[in-house]
Amino acid sequence: MSEVPSMDEATSAAQGASSLVIDIRGATKVFNPGKSNQVEALGEIDLSVGPGEFITLIGPSGCGKSTLLRLVASLIPPSAGTVQVNGKPAEQARLDRDYGMAFQTAGLFDWRSVTKNIELPLELMGWSRGARRRRVAEMLEMVKLSEFANHHPSELSGGMQQRVAIARALSFSPSLLLMDEPFGALDEMTREHMQDELLRIWEETETTVVFVTHSIPEAVYLSTRAIVMSPRPGGIASIIDVDLGDRNASTRDDPAFFTKVTEVRTALRKVEE
Amino acid sequence: MPNTDTMAAADDPLVREHRIKQQAAQEQRRDTVVRVVRQTVTFVVFLGLLAGLYTGYKAFGQSIGDAQHDWAVVGSVLPRTDDLNMPPVGEIFGQFGETPGGQDRIYAHILFDEAVFTLREAFAGFLVGLVIGMAIALALAQWRRLEQGLLPYVIASQTIPLIAIAPIIVIWGRKNFDVFPWEWQDWMSVSVIATYLTFFPVAVNGLRGLQSPRPENQELMESYAANWFQTLWRLRLPASLPYLFAALKIAATASIVGAIVGEISAGVEGGLGRRILREAFNYTTGPDRLFASVLGAAVLGIFVFLVVTAVERLVVGHQTQESTT
């Protein structure tokens, strides 16, 4: 784990700097600077993510993984350093709607039907009604909820709500999908099912994914790279490459899977000492 | 592509879970009908019990001669039971069918027409109060410092007794409100009083409602680069509706109270306030008419409450609480 920087450089070099989806250089985040409740949430972060990667951010609470995700989303500005998305400042990428986002709570609007929920970003982008309806039909098919188009969120189970949230995040075909513990509130069986669904969608859409989690098996199962983060201040402790190939039910019993789980767990133990 | 594509929807565990939930929802809808019927029956039975209690107490007081015996509270602490103090239930309801002298309509018809008049005043005031209340809520939600500065005064405004401000508004209306392009009429003053009672619950609950969206919903709108108005229109206003309707139920009945008190203060003819005042004046010759007119006012209050409840069902039927995940 000592050669973290070189691993990082190797990945970014392979992709070529211009085609990076995310390029973070020396980004820090201090909340309430200069006040008594000042918190250094993130130390200097360097991270590059290439197209089509599936990155998970994993670490103990307070390690700044959600903060890092919000820097990329430009929901909060960095205190220092730069965050670039698709080769432009994160702020511009947000204004250009380059990414979709999903949260731990599905965050659907209760007063809108499933269809209207998925349509929301398209409405804001001024799509015509016909175009919206066509796209929603495609998205519903993708998340296998076509027959629930006119249901309201309160009529759906938690897993189904989360699928609607994913459809909403991907409805305008962003090149990047940012997910903040999206399956954290689901039971274990639903969670594993949703992970398979997400992998299928990731392959179909060729979207780049950044996924925050605190589940080790989830991080290993999903990602192409797992970023292990350390707290106080938040930083990247190690980056673990994962290559499990095509994943299916048997992958979870695969020795290679367990090896990676152990590797991530060991890295996390070191962080928490 | 992964094998899941070929999976039939019925085998999907999530869909199966959904079917169970859907069935429960269907049963719930059936329960709703049962509930409405049960509530109506309960209400009617409750009214009957109340009338029975009233009649029973009256009969008891009459039989013992009110405070003459050991039951000293009857007719002293509790009201006297003679027909002047407690007209018989049958006569009160009988009044609705009577035609008062010099009138061509039965009393129920007269009350109905007057209730419509009062309802108009109240509704005008209610609408203006809704707009002002929401404007205040929006301003307070937008500028937090304003909330600290203005909210105490909004609350304080409600501690001034209505009886005190009603005549002031009426006099101001007659003398000062000539800035408006239309001629100010007394019923408008009555509406202003209704507004005064309406805007407060709307402002307070509207503020809570506008602030109710979860942080991640706010972030979601930000992630879409939505502007202030889009966020208001698509997120904060709809999210505020359940809170708003809770306020509107209070505001609707309060607007009726405001209109009735306002009519009495303003001396506006044609509404229930004036009617109640007149029947109180003529109490000795017709106590049952005052009771009947007060019942009419109560029915009007219940009516507006039910109307708001029905509109609420239509508008926010799906929006019970925060979506559970």
| pLDDT tens-digit map of A202-246 | 888 888 999 999 888 888 888 889 898 888 888 888 888 887 777
Summarize pLDDT for B246-293 with one digit per residue, the tens. Answer: 999 999 999 999 999 888 887 888 889 999 999 888 888 888 889 999
Whether A157 and B214 lie within 8 Å, measured CB to CB: no
Q: How far, in Å, CA of B311 to CA of B308, rounded? A: 5
Whether B5 contacts chain A with CB within 8 A: yes
Looking at A114-254, list the stretches that DSSP marks H as alpha helix, in order from N- to C-terminal side.
114-124, 129-142, 158-170, 188-205, 216-222
Q: Identify the CA nearest to B133 among candidates B157, B107, B166, B161.
A: B157
* Dihedral, CA of residue A259, residue A262, residue A266 and residue A272, to nearest 10: 150
Reported as a pLDDT band with limits 50, 70 and 90, residue A63 is confident
Q: Is the whole model's pTM more than 0.95, yes or no?
A: no
B17–chain A nearest CA distance, Å:
7
Maximum alpha-carbon separation in chain B: 95
pLDDT in the model for residue A1: 41
Whether A110 and B320 lie within 8 Å, measured CB to CB: yes
Q: How far, in Å, CA of A222 to CA of A219, rounded? A: 6
Q: How far, in Å, CA of B120 to CA of B259, rounded? A: 9
Summarize pLDDT for A251-273 with one digit per residue, the tens. Answer: 878 888 788 888 888 888 887 76
Whether A163 and B223 lie within 8 Å, measured CB to CB: no
Residue B116: count of CB within 10 angstroms of its CB:
13
DSSP secondary structure letters along B159-182:
TS-HHHHHHHHHHHHHHTGGGSSS
Residues 6+ apart with CB under 8 A from A2: none
Tokens 């085609």 found at: A19
Q: How far, in Å, CA of B282 to CA of B287, rounded? A: 8
Whether A104 contacts chain B with CB within 8 A: yes
Q: Is the pLDDT of residue B176 over 70?
A: no
To the nearest whole number, what is the mean pLDDT of chain A?
83
- Using DSSP bridges, classify how beta strands A80-85 and A88-89 pair: parallel, antiparallel or unpaired: antiparallel
pLDDT in the model for residue A121: 92
What is the mean predicted confidence (pLDDT) over A95-104?
Answer: 87
Q: Which residues of B are less than 8 Å from A244 in CB distance?
A: none
pLDDT in the model for residue B126: 95
Measure CB to CB from residue A109 to each of B226, B238, B324 and give the nearest one: B238
Reported as a pLDDT band with limits 50, 70 and 90, residue B131 is very high
A61–chain B nearest CA distance, Å:
18
Summarize pLDDT for B3-54 with one digit per residue, the tens. Answer: 444 444 555 666 666 777 777 777 777 777 888 888 889 989 998 999 999 9
8 Å CB contact between A38 and A30: yes
What is the mean predicted confidence (pLDDT) over B156-183?
Answer: 77
Whether B325 contacts chain A with CB within 8 A: yes
What is the mean predicted confidence (pLDDT) over A56-74?
Answer: 87
Whether B212 contacts chain A with CB within 8 A: no
Instruction: Report the complex ipTM.
Output: 0.82
CB neighbour class for B211 (10 Å; exposed up to 12, middle 13-18, buried from 19): middle
pLDDT in the model for residue B177: 62
Whether B223 and A73 lie within 8 Å, measured CB to CB: yes
Site from B15, B219, B220, B234 to mutate, A interface, most A CB atoms within 10 angstroms: B220
Residues 12-51 of A with CB under 8 A from B: none
Q: Is the pLDDT of residue B301 over 70?
A: yes
Cα–Cα–Cα angle for B194, B199, B202, rounded to 5 degrees: 130
pLDDT in the model for residue B67: 67
8 Å CB contact between A42 and A235: yes
The DSSP 8-state label assigned to residue A79 in this structure reads S
| DSSP bridge pairs for A58 | A213, A228
The DSSP 8-state label assigned to residue A234 in this structure reads B
Reported as a pLDDT band with limits 50, 70 and 90, residue B300 is very high
Q: Which residues of A are less than 8 Å from B9 in CB distance?
A: 144, 147
What is the mean predicted confidence (pLDDT) over B63-90?
Answer: 78
Q: Is the pLDDT of residue A26 over 90?
A: no
Of A118-127, B71-80, B94-103, B134-143, least confident by mean pLDDT is B71-80
Cα–Cα–Cα angle for B299, B302, B305, rounded to 5 degrees: 150
End-to-end CA distance of chain A: give it in Å, rounded. Answer: 16
Residue B31: count of CB within 10 angstroms of its CB:
11
pLDDT in the model for residue B119: 94
pLDDT in the model for residue A4: 45
H/E segment holding residue B120:
helix B107-142
Site from A140, A145, A156 to mutate, B interface, most B CB atoms within 10 angstroms: A156
Reported as a pLDDT band with limits 50, 70 and 90, residue B147 is confident
Whether B216 contacts chain A with CB within 8 A: yes
Summarize pLDDT for B188-245 with one digit per residue, the tens. Answer: 888 998 998 899 999 999 999 999 998 889 999 998 988 889 999 999 999 999 999 9
Reported as a pLDDT band with limits 50, 70 and 90, residue B91 is confident
H/E segment holding residue A226:
strand A225-230
8 Å CB contact between A165 and A182: yes
Of A29-43, B69-83, B113-127, B214-228, least confident by mean pLDDT is B69-83
pLDDT in the model for residue B237: 92
pLDDT in the model for residue B11: 58
SS3 (DSSP) at B30: helix
8 Å CB contact between A211 and A103: no
Whether B1 contacts chain A with CB within 8 A: yes
Residue A40: count of CB within 10 angstroms of its CB:
15
Q: Which residues of A are less than 8 Å from B1 in CB distance?
A: 200, 203-204
- Whole-number CA gyration radius for chain A: 19
Compute φ and ψ for A11, nearest 5 degrees. -65, -50
8 Å CB contact between A254 and A232: no
Site from A144, A147, A246 to mutate, B interface, most B CB atoms within 10 angstroms: A144
Q: Is the pLDDT of residue B295 over 60?
A: yes
Q: What are A140-146's contacts with CB under 8 Å, separation 24+?
A: A140/A114, A140/A115, A140/A167, A142/A167, A142/A170, A142/A201, A142/A204, A143/A167, A143/A197, A143/A201, A144/A197, A144/B7, A144/B9, A144/B12, A144/B15, A145/A114
Q: Between A6 and B311, whose confidence is greater?
A: B311
For chain B, what percent of residues have pLDDT higher than 90? 34
What is the mean predicted confidence (pLDDT) over B105-126?
Answer: 92
To the nearest whole number, what is the mean pLDDT of chain B?
83
Whether A190 contacts chain B with CB within 8 A: yes
Measure CB to CB from residue A97 to each of B220, B224, B239 and give the nearest one: B224
Q: Which residues of B are less than 8 Å from A94 in CB distance?
A: 222-223, 225
Q: Identify the CA nearest to A75 among candidates B143, B221, B142, B239.
A: B221
Measure CB to CB from residue B325 to each of A158, A189, A197 and give the nearest one: A158
Whether B2 contacts chain A with CB within 8 A: yes
pLDDT in the model for residue B23: 76
- Using DSSP bridges, classify how beta strands A235-241 and A225-230 pair: parallel, antiparallel or unpaired: antiparallel
Whether A162 and B325 lie within 8 Å, measured CB to CB: yes
Two tokens at A48?
A: 């590059």
Q: Is the pLDDT of residue B88 over 60?
A: yes
Residues 170-199 of B with CB under 8 A from A: none
Reported as a pLDDT band with limits 50, 70 and 90, residue A14 is very low
Cβ contacts below 8 Å, chain A against chain B, sum to: 120
Two tokens at B264?
A: 């009495």
Q: How far, in Å, CA of B48 to CA of B40, rounded? A: 12
Q: Which residues of B are less than 8 Å from A111 in CB distance?
A: 238-239, 241, 316, 318-319
SS3 (DSSP) at A253: helix
8 Å CB contact between B180 and B275: no
